[in-house]
A and B are shown apart, each in its own frame.
Chain A
Amino acid sequence: GEDVEQSLFLSVREGDSSVINCTYTDSSSTYLYWYKQEPGAGLQLLTYIFSNMDMKQDQRLTVLLNKKDKHLSLRIADTQTGDSAIYFCISGTASKLTFGTGTRLQVTL
């Protein structure tokens, strides 16, 4: 089956940039998504990128897609304590999502 891999943990200082990386296997994905999950809560769509794009910027968020290497990254500029959460990289279509393992982002003062 399809697979999405992420590192499990990232720790950054408040104000620094965070970069969360992901690799995926599904070359037929139309979109790639980043969802955020705060403790005990549901998943919130952060951003997405269409598979024929290389980059997408949305305020503090920058998504980079290397389709050749099947590598996706999420950069959060000026990371705040409120950004502490689990970030899921997800491939597939809206109807059928393949979840990564999730990266826990810890923001320290």
Chain B
Amino acid sequence: DTEVTQTPKHLVMGMTNKKSLKCEQHMGHRAMYWYKQKAKKPPELMFVYSYEKLSINESVPSRFSPECPNSSLLNLHLHALQPEDSALYLCASVGQGEVGTDTQYFGPGTRLTVL
């Protein structure tokens, strides 16, 4: 199983709402990532969790709050977002897979629209 799952697939929220994005992997990977991807741009790294501890925060605004409840699950809590936060949010995990070396495996993403 080399799958990273993300829910929901689409999310529309107002600027006063609180919502959460969820990411799950059962590959035994110990590092998990959140990326933000705007249209026609490459993904931008937001957060990295390594062994369930936050290891990298790329100066992301506090309205984005990551959480890693266990080694298989990564959440991104959203509060008081702005319309410019609308994007595709991608989760990834790192580990050895079929290629025989450490690789990043990406989920399908959550398409977020902030009204």
In the complex, the answer to whether B103 meets A44 with C-beta atoms within 8 Å is: no
The docked-state distance in angstroms from the alpha carbon of A24 to that of B74 is: 31
Q: Mark B1-44, 1 if CB is under 8 A from A, else 0.
A: 00010100000000000000000000000010000000011110
Interface of B is mostly: strand
The docked-state distance in angstroms from the alpha carbon of A83 to that of B43 is: 20
Q: Given A40-B88, A94-B94, A100-B42, do A45 and B107 touch, yes or no (CB 8 Å)?
A: no
Residues of chain B touching chain A, judged by Cβ–Cβ distance below 8 Å, are 4, 6, 31, 40-43, 45, 48, 88, 90, 92, 94, 99, 101-109, 111
Closest chain A residue, CB of each to CB of B48: A95
Interface residues of A in 31-70 (CB under 8 A from B): 31, 33, 35, 40-45, 48
Closest chain B residue, CB of each to CB of A38: B108
Closest chain A residue, CB of each to CB of B96: A94
